[in-house]
Homo-oligomer: A and B are copies of this chain.
Amino acid sequence: MSTIIDVARAAGVSTATVSRVINTPQAVREATRTRVLAAMEACHYRYNALARGFATKRTRTIGLIIPTITNPGFAESTRGIQERAAAAGLSVLLGNTNYDPETEEKLIRVFREMQVDGLVITTTNPNNPILKNLVAEGFPFVVLYSTVRRGHMSCVGVDNYRGGYMATQHLIDNGHRRIAMIAGAFRSSDKSRGRWDGYRQCLRENGLVYDKDFLAQTTYSLASGREVIQQLLRLETPPTAVFCSNDYLAIGVMEGARDAGLELPADLSVVGFDDIPLASYVTPGLDTIRLPAYEMGALGFEALLERIEKGGQTPVHRMLGLELIVRGSVAPPRGNA
């Protein structure tokens, strides 16, 4: 490949001038500039962003870490980040952890070795010491989905506790008293745990007992929702309603309940979390807690960009609003009303 040196030679200028034509064209006389541009064309010159990154120590690349690309919620936040990043002229390196903390650590390391300018992390555990190190080093990053109130980490997220509470209250308002929860494994998802805390607290405040047989922890997928609900339904007094910590799980649950011969929502009420596009396409439409994923990604990126450009140290804490969406997957329990 031809380099700046070749171009400089072909145009009869110095490499510094070629560099100026690329980076600060207005700092070069018109005539010189067009000559250089022509030379670049003639040489089939291609800019080497790696060399620039090496020289400037800025790569205009950020790393994005998500649990899995397969979940539409993360797809949305990713879209929010990528669109804003593209507009700002930054590239996004994407990595998935599959909810595995070790993979998360590895990705952080690899991205830093690649000299990314910053990181957006959807972490399985915001208390991970690795993140504290990042803060200590002053490395720019923002955490998505979670919100850590204390601490010096920038976060753009939602109040998962509150969302869990809202979902549960919705079921209680419809007359349910035997409410199960199917959650992502707490070990691999603090979001899941926050939602569970909200669920428990809501039960308590409504004078309902928390039955630990009614909590199932599993992986986030359609298939596990479908399986787990079957177990729950086999209990001596099965739940009349279930709150799932994401929509995928909830849709799996709906299907699993049908497999078991139940009619929805009469025999089982279901509430999800996220409001993925699909939630309005299943039958009945899924009641869920809407999480503004795209917006969260976009705002997260903006916060990161600010940190990168301005180099400030003050952490950003944004808590986005959640909203209960009612579509028809919740009804009063059979015995009731």
Which listed residue, B59, B222, B278, touches A50 by the CB 8 Å rule? B59
Asked if A177 lies at the interface with its beta carbon under 8 angstroms from chain B, I say: no
CB distance from A253 to the nearest CB of B (A): 10
Give the number of chain A interface residues (Cβ < 8 Å). 45
Q: Counting CB contacts under 8 A, is A115 at the interface?
A: yes
| Interface, chain A (partner B; CB < 8 A) | 46-51, 53-54, 59, 61, 68-70, 72, 75-76, 78-79, 82, 91-96, 110, 112-115, 221-223, 226, 251-252, 254-255, 258, 277-278, 280-283
A283 to chain B minimum Cβ distance, whole angstroms, is: 6
User: Do A70 and B59 touch (CB < 8 A)?
Assistant: no
Inter-subunit contact B46/A251 (CB<8 Å):
no
In contact, A46 and B113 (Cβ under 8 angstroms): yes
State the CA gap A28–B254 with chains docked (Å): 60
B residues in contact with A69, CB < 8 Å: 69, 75, 78-79, 82
Complex Cα spacing A287 to B41, Å: 52
B79 contacts A222, CB within 8 Å?
no
CB <8 Å contact, B91 and A92: no
With known contacts A69-B78, A79-B69, A82-B96, A281–B251 Cβ distance under 8 A: yes
Contact between chains at B61 and A70 (CB < 8 Å): no
Which of B94, B115, B226, B278 has a CB less than 8 Å from the CB of A94?
B94
